[in-house]
Amino acid sequence: MNLRTLVLRELFERKTQMLTCFLAILLGITTVVAIKNVTHYSEKAVAVEMDALGANVLVLPKTVTLQDYYSADMHDEVIPEEYVMRLTMSDIQGVDNLSPKLNVPIELDGRNFAFTGILPKNEFQAKAAWAGAGIFSRPIGCGAIDVASEPEPEDKKSLVRNRVIKDLESHEVLVGADAATVQDIAEGDTLTLLGEEFTVIAVLPETGTVDDSRIFGHLHTVQRLSGKGPVVNCIEIVGCCKEISAGLVEGVNALLPNAKVVTVKQVVATQQNVNRMMERLSLIFLAIIVIVGGASIANYMYANVFERRKEIGTLMALGAESGLVLRIFLAKAALLGIAGGVAGYLLGTVLAVTLGPRLAGVTVLPMPTLALWAIGVSIGITFLASFFPARRAASLDPVAAFQEV
């Protein structure tokens, strides 16, 4: 016989009460762990996006609003392709890496994909050079184009990293990772898209974005096959540094008054707002757990003390000191707290990992540090809620042992 046996036997003797109390803790901890876990990865995703694309700027039709940078071209509104030339020939710093896009939905074997037209860099560079445009007046280094250098053989897969490509022939395509897997497409294969045949020159590595479901082709080919004419859905300006992109927005706004210029910061602002809301929500839930969960545990503990007063009186008559009675109830609270914390962490993590990608659009991984947090909070709440009932038990009159209950 020891304290553990005494506590465990009593807990399992009153299973319904124990389960009710356990559920109160479990649900609270689960909710907060799930919210905290999803919020953490959502914030991380925003940070990564800001880090990778923070210097980039999107030029869009005026009426377009968007929440995801990678799907900036997935709408029906268009702007003239001529904007690309205007940008290239301007003296604005940092507009040399341009990626205009036109997106056309296509169907392959009953599945929907995006056929995205992109303009290889060599075409507008050459045009700009022939036009003797202001590119030569730009400073050398960041934002300058080395038009004189010999073209080096390019790894086509670098499109996913650099977001621009140097060369692309009119009947060549690059296929996103998902599209390639689903359609069983390999490098060198031939694809028929919108009635014409294309050679797959590369299968792109997985990015975790909508780009994985795209097939990239030459912009002018896509324009011709879709019959849309010389237009694009968006122009991505791949900035080289944040300092330049700051001035870039003003310059592009002045140059293209009929277009909308959006920075990555603006695109992720919505997600940041959602994250802030989730963070506040987790604090509200935490407060609810402390109040409702704590009250429920305290209520259970008070009822338990009342129900067991004859038993406590008997233990005292047998020689139990008040400290031991206090320990019996606090050990019970600790057990419930640990069990609720561990189970709440596990369930919350499972929920976050399974529902996170659907709700927040980010990959969520388990966070072991949250386990310590969950157990700590859970024990803290159960201890706090049980302390006064435990103290009442410890100060019970042993005479209760002689009273009929």
Partner 1 sequence: MIQMENVTKTYTLRKQQVIGLDDATLAIPAGDFVSLVGPSGSGKSTLLLMLGGMLTPTAGRVLIDGESLYDLPADGRARFRKQRIGFVFQTFNLVPYLTALENVRVPLYLAGVGGDDQLERATALLNRMGLGQRLDHKPTELSVGQQQRVALARMLANDPAIILADEPTGNLDPETGEQIIRFFEEFNAEGRTIVMVTHDPQAAERAERTLKLREGRVVEDRPGKRMLQVA
Residues lying near partner 1 in the complex (CB under 8 A) are found at 1-2, 5-6, 9-10, 12-13, 310-311, 314-324, 397-399, 401-402, 404
Closer residue to partner 1 in complex, CB, 240/324: 324
| Reduced DSSP (H G I as helix, E B as strand, rest coil) percent helix, strand, coil of the chain, to 5 | 60, 15, 25
* Rounded Cα distance, 215 and 106, in Å: 10
End-to-end CA distance of the chain: 26
Which of these, 179, 175, 181, 143, lies nearest to 156 by C-alpha position?
175
Residue 233 backbone dihedrals phi, psi, to 5 degrees: -85, -30
In whole angstroms, the minimum distance from the beta carbon of 311 to partner 1 comes to 6
In whole angstroms, the minimum distance from the beta carbon of 395 to partner 1 comes to 9
In whole angstroms, the minimum distance from the beta carbon of 396 to partner 1 comes to 11
* Rounded Cα distance, 338 and 120, in Å: 59
In whole angstroms, the minimum distance from the beta carbon of 402 to partner 1 comes to 6
Closer residue to partner 1 in complex, CB, 184/404: 404
Closer residue to partner 1 in complex, CB, 153/323: 323
* Rounded Cα distance, 64 and 62, in Å: 6
Closer residue to partner 1 in complex, CB, 262/330: 330
Closer residue to partner 1 in complex, CB, 204/328: 328
> Residues with Cβ < 8 Å from 331, sequence gap 6 or more?
3, 4, 7
Closer residue to partner 1 in complex, CB, 13/109: 13
Q: Produce one character per residue of 86-106: b if its CB has 16 or more CB atoms within 10 Å, e if not.
A: bbbbbebbbbbbbbbbbbbeb
Q: Report how many helices (DSSP H) and strands (DSSP E) the chain contains, helices first.
A: 13, 11
Tokens of 374: 């969950």
In whole angstroms, the minimum distance from the beta carbon of 1 to partner 1 comes to 4
| DSSP letter, residue 138 | S
Tokens of 338: 């640990």
Closer residue to partner 1 in complex, CB, 156/309: 309
Strands 57-61 and 214-218: unpaired
In whole angstroms, the minimum distance from the beta carbon of 28 to partner 1 comes to 28
